[in-house]
Structure 1
Amino acid sequence: MDPKRLSFLLAVARYGSILAAADSLHLTASAVSQQVSRLEKEEGVELLERGPRGVGLTPAGRILVEAAENIERELADARSRLSEAQHGVTGRVVIGAFQTVVSGFLVPILDHLHEALPGLELSIADATSARLPRMLRTGEADLIIVDRDLADTGHTPAHTADVPLLDEPWRLVVPRGSTFDLSGAGLEKLPWLGVAPGGASELPVERAKAALGITPPVVHRYEDFQAALALVQGGLGVTLLPALTVRLGVPEGLDVIDLPGLGSRHLTIRHRSTRREPGAGTRAVVTELVRAAGELDVLGSGD
């Protein structure tokens, strides 16, 4: 089978007639018809249903048109990769993430990303965890960084793919100089802060408490981590914060404790996954983000 002849059949399928296909290819209708006829003879099947109002595809014709489309895509992808190899990756990539990832991870590595990917225009879009998946669906972001526990109900949405980025430990934050009993029984008696319903850390904090085997009463609640820090600083309770938040620094008067059994927040890169995506730029950014996360010291910072 001559792949060049497939391109003639593909043009006829797209434009609906041999004459229109010939115009698009800058050839005569006779030349296009001849190439399709030769393809039919080579394969021993009829590919077109010819009628007074144009032509349609036979079942065999649809099979070969699908093959032609696949070849066309593969060639386009090969050309794109060749261009990358010769000239580097170019274009614009939008990275969506929530506040602590923007502040604690993306901003510190942005210079590295620019140095590693000089041909790319990188844009960071700060958004709530609830809004990030919608940004990916609508094309506002090329990739997003999400908390895997909050991003979905246990499965990756259709036409997307997940890439593990970073397991970020939870840390216990207490007023400085506290003499709390941090044994199993003592943890139950700590003045725990609660997370407001729908707050970004509600589910993981409750999971961490369950892992510790405690169900303490709650007086004060917070929705964002800055409010949590203020409440702890005011001596109103203790709470769990992710390592990236702690890495940004905590106010005076607080101690950060690495307590076994708290678990981690699982940060994940999510991007669209179709025949055309992710593009070269998105693939390159994902690779660099994973590399940077592997070099990040989330355990040794903030204490």
Structure 2
Amino acid sequence: MIDSRRLRTLRAVADHRTVTAAAAVLYLTPSAVSQQLAALEQETGHRLLQRDGRGVRLTPAGEILLVHADAVLAQLERAEAELAAYSSGAAGEVTVASFATGIALVLAPALVALAGTAPGIRVRVLDAEGDESLPMVLEGRADLAVAVEYRGAPRDDEQRLVRVPLYAEPFDAVLPPGHPLAAGARVPMAALAEEPWIGPYPGNPCHDVVVLACEHAGFQPRLRHSSDDFRAVVALAGAGAGVALVPRSALRDLDLSQVAVRPVDGVPAIRRVFAAVRRGAEGNPLLRPVLDALRTAADGSSSTPD
């Protein structure tokens, strides 16, 4: 009989490539992880891991078992959801990881709605960058993520997650005062090819959106200044340091008196936001009202493309 706890350990090692890193996310000691893996190899009768530089990787037998592990773990999530429904589990805590603008735009309004429709559900909010929330859900540190599509994100066909689209919003061009392109109603993306740029650091999903929009317009942006804080980005643009693309919702509460903000022409820069839960958990009676409230809040927001 294969122990499901050991399957979770195998999945963590496959995700993080080292026993030490897997132990950290599982809140176990490295020796305990090694013991669980050794026991799993004994249970299956196959070698599941092999050395790969300073880390480890799965053997072909380990890859086969991992596919079944994901299916088993998803089914366990479904079992927990059904048991919770059976016991009318309309009370409990849900941990949601979201980036800051997502918190302001959809999560905070969802909390207001839940206070009236599902007062027994307590939502714990964790502010997490767009590239951090999905791993938090996969590792069990959060129940639900509000995340942004980005190059390194788990693929759309990721079998361990269920995604619920929430909204898509455009990025607007932020230009220094008196910039020649500020005279027009819209800014052609290709016209910004020679400009110095201000943008998020690599790894931030918004960095990917900006770079992809520039690539579609036929150029690579010359990123001269970097900040993940859009207030700093707008302030730098206002000081004449360069141009930027900023999500429209992030501009709502900023001082824009020293910059020109214009929509862009060409292939638009779009941020696509979604909620995600572990596969099998989408029917959990604690998560379902939160997902519904997020969808309702997103439908009521104005962050949709032109």
**Secondary structure, aligned partner of 1:249:** coil
Q: Which residue pairs with 1:132 in the alignment?
A: 133
Contact 2:137-2:145 within 8 A present in 1 as well: yes
Q: Which of 237, 246, 253 is matched with 1:241 structurally?
A: 246
Q: Structure 1 pair 110/151, CA: closer, same or farther in 2 (3 Å)?
A: farther
Which residues in structure 2 correspond to 1:118-197 (within 5 Å)?
118-150=119-151, 152-180=153-181, 182-183=187-188, 186-197=191-202
One-letter code of the match for 1:90?
Answer: A
Structure 1 residue aligned with 2:278:
272
**Deviations 1:134-171 (CA, angstroms, capped at 9, x unpaired):** 32123221100111224625344443211111112111
Question: C-alpha distance in 2, partners of 1:160/1:154?
Answer: 10
Partner of 1:253: 258
The within-5 A match list for 1:14-33 is none
The question of whether the paired residues in 2 share the 8 Å contact of 1:200 and 1:224 is answered with no
Secondary structure in 2 matching 1:193: strand
Task: Give aligned-pair identity as a percent.
Answer: 27
The CA distance in 2 between the partners of 1:208 and 1:217, in whole Å, is 13
Per-residue deviation at 1:184? Answer: 6.0
Q: Counterparts of 1:208-247 in structure 2 under 5 Å?
A: 208-247=213-252
Q: Which runs of 5+ in 2 are unaligned?
A: 1-74
Cα separation, 1, equivalents of 2:216 and 2:158: 28
Question: Aligned partners of 1:190 and 1:273: how far apart in 2?
Answer: 44
Contact in 2 for aligned 1:271/1:278 (Cα 8 Å): no
Q: Distance in 2 between the 1:251 and 1:76 partners?
A: 46
Q: Contact 1:171–1:262 at 8 Å: present in 2 too?
A: no
SS in 1 for 2:94: strand
User: Partners of 1:75 and 1:149 in 2: how far apart?
Assistant: 30
Question: Matched residue of 1:180: which SS?
Answer: helix
- Structure 1 residue 111, shift from structure 2 partner: 1.6
2:7: which partner in 1? none
Aligned counterparts of 1:76 and 1:213: Cα–Cα separation in 2: 48
What runs of 5+ residues in structure 1 fail to find an aligned partner? 1-69
Shift of 1:132: 1.7
Residue 114 of structure 1 deviates from its aligned partner by 1.8
Residues in 1 aligned to 2:285 and 2:154: alpha-carbon distance in whole angstroms: 29
Q: Pick the structure with greater CA Rg.
A: 1
Q: Distance in 1 between matches of 2:218 and 2:80?
A: 57
Contact 1:96–1:127 (8 Å) recurs in 2: yes
Query: Judging changes above 3 Å, is the alpha-carbon distance between structure 1 residues 250 and 207 closer, same or farther for their aligned structure 2 residues?
Result: farther
User: Which residue does the alignment assign to 2:95?
Assistant: 94
Which whole-Å CA distance do the structure 2 matches of 1:265 and 1:128 have between them? 14
Would the aligned equivalents of 1:180 and 1:190 in 2 still touch at CA under 8 Å? no
Structure with more relative contact order (C-alpha pairs < 8 Å, separation 6 or more): 2
TM-score (norm 2): 0.63
Task: List structure 1 runs of 4+ shifted beyond 4 angstroms.
Answer: 73-76
Work out whether residues 130 and 204 of structure 2, in 8 Å CA contact, stay in contact via their aligned partners in 1: no
1:263 and 2:269 matched: yes
After TM superposition, the score normalised by the length of structure 1 is 0.64
**Structure 1 residue 209: deviation in Å?**
1.0
Call closer, same or farther: CA 1:185–1:130 in 2, change over 3 Å.
Answer: closer
Q: Map residues 5-84 of structure 1 onto 2, 5 A cutoff.
A: 77=82, 80=85, 83=88
Asked if the contact 2:190/2:217 (under 8 Å) is kept, the reply is no
**Shift in alpha-carbon separation, 1:125–1:255, aligned structure 2, 3 A:** same
AA aligned opposite 1:284: P
Distance apart, 1:78 and its partner CA: 7.7
- Matching residue's letter, 2:126: A
For residues 128 and 94 of structure 1, the distance between their equivalents in structure 2, rounded to whole angstroms, comes to: 15
1:129 touches 1:151 (CA, 8 Å); kept in 2?
Answer: no
**2:210 counterpart SS class:** helix
